[in-house]
Amino acid sequence: MHIRYSQSKQVDTNQLERLFHSVDWKSGQYPNELQAAIRQSHSVLTAWADEQLVGLINTLSDGCMTVYFHYVLVHPEYQSRGIGRSLVEQMLERYKNYKTILLVSYEETEAFYERIGFKTQSETKAMYITELL
């Protein structure tokens, strides 16, 4: 199966919603906000099988020193085919001159990111607020 990659930030809301729901990510519950977030990202790379969105990576950045790989996801039916690796490697190439490239990983995906070259930093901890009271 041929996978086509695109750098366009113009992604259909329904396609985004389906992709995010496929991996049970809460962001899929907010399709309009999700689409706005993708459009406002520093960069976006999507993976397509025919007309179906099957993968996505987006970044947030200061534009010169630091980049955060925010969303990195591949539809479960298309995982283990090199799509996630390709998305990350293409973004790593784009940001190769930056001083800091970071992401947040869940335990089940740590091995994937380590194979690509990311390392954990034991003296740091990811902290976040998902909903303000």
CATH domain 4-116 topology? Aminopeptidase (3.40.630)
Per-residue confidence of the chain (133 residues) as pLDDT tens digits? 799 999 999 999 999 999 999 999 999 999 999 999 999 999 999 999 999 999 999 999 999 999 999 999 999 999 999 999 999 999 999 999 999 999 887 788 888 888 888 888 877 777 777 765 4
Per the structure block, which two tokens stand in for 100? 């800091």
Domain parsing of the chain, residue ranges: 4-116
- Please check whether residue 31 is in contact with residue 38, taking contact to mean a CB–CB distance below 8 angstroms: no
Residue 75, number of CB atoms within 10 A of its CB: 20
Spatial separation of the C-alpha atoms in residues 51 and 68, rounded to whole Å: 28
Which of 60, 61, 88 is closest to 74 using CA atoms? 88
Question: What is the pTM (predicted TM-score) of this model?
Answer: 0.87
Per the structure block, which two tokens stand in for 49? 């099988």
Distance of CA 58 to the CA centre of its chain: 5
